[in-house]
Amino acid sequence: MEELEELRQRLGAERPAAWEHLPDLALYMDQLISYMPRQLIRFEGGDTLTSAMVNNYIKDGLLPRAEGKRYGREHLAWLTAICALKSVISMREMAALFAGLGRTDQPVEERYAFFLEQLDRSLDKVAASLEPDVDKEGLAPLALGLALDSYASKLACQRVLELMADRPEGQDAENKKKK
């Protein structure tokens, strides 16, 4: 099916801009809103980022405050991750995930590069699972399989986030000493 081949191609090729390709000039809110759709694969009718959403992400602590009403690379990187994850996990879960990724003193550029690597891997995996020669009758089983993969991944993600929350500070260091 031609449409599945197109989807497969998009999943395999379209990626958010790498750090060095993000605009190096600070953007105002309207520029930020118009830039962000380029960062993720979208289809007609998909969610559109709004200024109210950006402000809510700032209030929730997921996104740093603007610097004089201007948003830089750091904001674009975090917003890319937020927009990719918001349909999969809650804002509270996202905050826990972001807190657990890398050291807090680690540059945003490195955290963003890690995010992009993981996104590449996931998109490539799904693209490889799509067989473009599926006929119309094979679409429902394909969609079911993809939905159940999403369900299983979400269950695992939520449990891992719970485990992150249950682990007391310093436990990793203690475990390493015991070994």
C-alpha 10/C-alpha 2 separation (Å) is 12
User: Which has the minimum average pLDDT: 41-45, 72-76, 135-139, 158-162?
Assistant: 41-45
Q: What is the DSSP letter of 68?
A: S
Answer whether residue 179 shows pLDDT above 50. Answer: no
pLDDT tens for 105-139 read 789 999 999 999 999 999 999 999 998 889 999 99
Three-state secondary structure string covering the chain: CHHHHHHHHHHHHCCCCCHHHCCCCCECHHHHHHHHHHCCCCCCCCCCCCHHHHHHHHHCCCCCCCCCCCECHHHHHHHHHHHHHCCCCCHHHHHHHHHHCCCCCCCHHHHHHHHHHHHHHHHHHHHHHCCCCCCHHHHHHHHHHHHHHHHHHHHHHHHHHHHHHHCCCCHHHHHHHHC
Q: What is the mean pLDDT of residues 98-109?
A: 79
Answer whether residue 141 shows pLDDT above 60. Answer: yes
Predicted confidence band of residue 81 (pLDDT cuts 50, 70, 90): very high
Answer whether residue 55 shows pLDDT above 80. Answer: yes
Q: What is the pLDDT of residue 73?
A: 96
Higher pLDDT, 99 or 127: 127
